[in-house]
Amino acid sequence: MANNDFYKVTDFKQAELDRLKNLVYEAKYEADYYEAIYNALSEKQTRYNASLNTSEANANQADTNKKRIDTLVQEAKQLFDDSGDLYKAIRHLKSETLSIDSEIKVLLENLIYNIDLISKLSNLIKTIKAQNPLISDQLVDMINTAEVDANTAFDFTFKALESSFETQILISKSQSAATTEYKQSLDLLALLIGHFKLLDVVRPGATHEVDADAIDAKSLQDFVNDMYNAAQTNYITNAKAVELCDAELKDVTLSLDNAKLKLQSLTDELNAVEAAM
């Protein structure tokens, strides 16, 4: 082989070797580039998954709290209704008892009047009987019986009045307790759902003073609902972020695998050329 041909072949091989080295260098740069992106995305994915797990736990807790507050509100409404019914029933009972008291008092007044008449009539008959033995003994016995029966009726009626008074005292205590329970149930409901919403719950005829400054105050149920909505929104946001990160990592993983295959192929080719020289 002529020297010129030898040099031409050598130059050709060197040029091919240089070309392959450049391609290997570029392939390595590309592989390193995608590997750096892959590592960054892997760290990002780890952080996002940790945030997603935290937000999921918060969302689950917020959901539990929402169910608890909803249940508590329903129970508070039932307590309010029941205490209102009890309060109305006690007021009705007190009204009826007062009516019975009035009737008993009227009855006592009539009994006192009649007992007084019977007593005077009894004294008169006994006086006449003492002056006139012909007066029937049966009449005397009848007036005595009437006098005893009248006194017995008075005794029973007076005992009924005493019992009614005791009932009034008991009802008054019960009414006081029922009033306290009704107010407490109303205050509890106001705390749970807010004073403004409370106006829609209180039944017609019920009265409740609403603090103007408290109308705009956030209720416990509103606070829990806001926490629930924020937790759900945060979870959805984190879930979408993880989804996008997974998709990016999947694409980068594919690009990195291709870049590694390309680098390996060019490296093998470069090694073959170097071995042949």
Alpha-carbon distance 143 to 157, whole Å? 21
Alpha-carbon distance 201 to 141, whole Å? 69
pLDDT for position 103? 78
Alpha-carbon distance 214 to 186, whole Å? 14
Alpha-carbon distance 120 to 41, whole Å? 115
Distance of CA 15 to the CA centre of its chain: 80
| 112, 154 contact by CB (below 8 A) | yes
Q: Is 149 helix (H, G, I), strand (E, B) or coil?
A: helix
Cβ-proximal residues to 107 (8 Å cutoff; 6+ apart), any chain: 157
Place of tokens 């019986």: 145
The pLDDT tens digits along the chain (277 residues) read 445 544 455 667 778 888 888 999 999 999 999 999 999 999 999 999 999 999 999 999 999 999 999 998 888 888 888 888 887 887 777 777 777 777 778 877 887 887 788 788 777 777 776 777 766 777 777 877 887 888 888 788 778 777 777 777 777 777 777 778 888 888 888 888 877 666 666 654 444 454 545 555 678 888 899 999 999 999 999 999 999 999 999 999 999 999 999 999 989 888 887 877 6
**Cβ neighbour number for residue 73 with a 10 Å cutoff:** 20
Alpha-carbon distance 110 to 103, whole Å? 11
User: Dihedral (C-alpha) 211, 217, 220, 222: value to the nearest 10 degrees?
Assistant: 130
Q: How far is CA 202 from CA 27, 178, 182, 208, in A?
A: 77, 16, 11, 8
pLDDT for position 7? 45
User: Dihedral (C-alpha) 103, 109, 115, 118: value to the nearest 10 degrees?
Assistant: -100
Cβ-proximal residues to 56 (8 Å cutoff; 6+ apart), any chain: 235
Q: Quick one: tokens of 277?
A: 């020289």
Return the CA Rg of the chain.
51
Rounded to two decimals, the pTM is 0.62
Helices marked H in the chain — which ranges?
3-131, 137-193, 195-201, 212-215, 220-276
